[in-house]
């Protein structure tokens, strides 16, 4: 992978937060990871929106999917827990 050096300016308070968040990791590596994650999330959202427009689910389908998701993602009791 080739590397391109860029310069950004951020407020002092933001720079302090970045350095603290990076910890022992080099700031440029930490910032790169954060930006890549953000770009990946944005691309996934774009793809999801395109898929959603193509599929055009009915309101009933959306409500059913939301109900299934809610049931599947709620914390349940662990088996064997007292």
Residue by residue, DSSP assigns 9-57 as ---HHHHHHHHHHHTTS-HHHHHHHHHHHHHHHHHHHHHHHHHHHHH--
Does any domain span residue 82?
Answer: no
What digits encode the pLDDT tens for the residues 18-66?
999 999 999 999 999 999 999 999 999 999 999 999 999 999 999 999 9
Does any domain span residue 28?
Answer: yes
Does any domain span residue 52?
Answer: yes
Predicted local confidence at residue 46, as pLDDT: 96
Does any domain span residue 80?
Answer: no
Contacts of 18 (CB under 8 A, 6+ apart): 10, 27, 30, 31
Does any domain span residue 2?
Answer: no
Does any domain span residue 62?
Answer: yes
Does any domain span residue 43?
Answer: yes
With beta carbons less than 8 A apart as the criterion, state whether 18 and 10 touch.
yes
With beta carbons less than 8 A apart as the criterion, state whether 57 and 65 touch.
yes
Host domain of residue 41: 13-72
Does any domain span residue 41?
Answer: yes
The stretch 8-20 carries a mean pLDDT of 97
For the chain, the domain total comes to: 1
Question: Does the predicted TM-score (pTM) go above 0.85?
Answer: no
């Amino acid at each position: 992978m080739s590397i391109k050096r860029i310069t950004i300016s951020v407020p002092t308070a933001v720079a302090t937060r970045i350095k603290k968040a990076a910890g022992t990791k080099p700031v440029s590596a930490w910032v790169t990871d954060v930006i890549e994650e953000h770009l990946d999330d944005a691309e996934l959202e774009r793809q999801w929106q395109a898929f959603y427009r193509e599929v055009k689910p009915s309101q009933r389908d959306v409500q059913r999917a939301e109900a299934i998701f809610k049931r599947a993602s709620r914390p349940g009791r662990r088996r064997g827990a007292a």
